[in-house]
Homo-oligomer: A and B are copies of this chain.
Amino acid sequence: MGKHEKKSSNVVWHQSHVTRDMRETQAGHRAGVLWFTGLSGAGKSTLAHAVEQRLHAMGVRTYVIDGDNVRHGLCSDLGFSDADRVENIRRVAEVAGLFVQAGVLTLTAFISPFRGDRAQARELLGNDFIEVYCNTPLEICEGRDVKGLYAKARAGEIPAFTGISSPYEAPEHAEIVVPTGSEPIEASVDRVIAWLETHQWLRGEKK
């Protein structure tokens, strides 16, 4: 027993942890979540990836969580019912929270049309949550219709399509509002980076 106790003290009792704070110090910047929201075709994913590219070039640790990398993996068991969409957003927020703990400046790109769901993400992530509203008017998104989804929605082929047959509840207090429908993408990237710099996320100064 004495032998086991000694081993136990070696293996179990000296638990120590690398903390978020230690990871942020190593990274030289604050972690957080840039939560891009907006209509289909508003430019969320494109802007998120363009912002990421700029941040990466600045030496920032980044990762974009979007439909491409969760719908076929983590959330492959989920469909597009209301309950499944809520669960999808919940898991994304939870995973984003893990990335924040890991010291990563995380970017998420989901329509996330309902205020309640975004409020849940904000509650979960607290001061780490930065809402970025990609404010492209519906007529421009529909004019682009990159994936042909608006045409299908108008034809009644897609039920509950955001902006057409299901509401998009625009943010009322987004940290960053980007007129993604009326400026070049580089100007939109500048806007997001400027906000991060003004709010001291990129200099290793925390909270």
Taking CB atoms, residues of chain B closer than 8 Å to A65 are 98
Taking CB atoms, residues of chain B closer than 8 Å to A91 are 74, 91
Q: Does A144 lie within 8 Å of B8, measured CB to CB?
A: yes
A194 within 8 A of B: no
A151 within 8 A of B: no
Q: Does B102 lie within 8 Å of A104, measured CB to CB?
A: yes
Copies of the protein in its oligomer: 2
Given A16-B49, A95-B98: A43 in contact with B11 (beta carbons within 8 A): yes
A155 within 8 A of B: no
Those of A11-44 within 8 Å (CB) of chain B = 11-12, 14-18, 22-23, 26, 41, 43
* Alpha-carbon distance A23/B104, docked complex (angstroms): 12
Those of A80-106 within 8 Å (CB) of chain B = 87, 91, 94-95, 97-99, 101-104
A185 within 8 A of B: yes
* Alpha-carbon distance A144/B1, docked complex (angstroms): 9
Given A7-B140, A43-B12: A18 in contact with B49 (beta carbons within 8 A): yes
Given A140-B7, A144-B12: A18 in contact with B74 (beta carbons within 8 A): no
CB distance from A21 to the nearest CB of B (A): 12
Q: Does B46 lie within 8 Å of A14, measured CB to CB?
A: yes
CB distance from A190 to the nearest CB of B (A): 13
Q: Does B56 lie within 8 Å of A74, measured CB to CB?
A: no
In addition to A4-B143, A15-B45, A63-B101, 7 A-B residue pairs with Cβ atoms within 8 Å of each other are A1-B143, A8-B144, A17-B49, A23-B56, A69-B98, A69-B101, A77-B87
What are 13 pairs between A and B in contact, CB < 8 Å? A7-B144, A8-B143, A8-B146, A11-B188, A12-B43, A14-B46, A17-B52, A26-B56, A61-B102, A69-B98, A69-B101, A70-B98, A104-B104
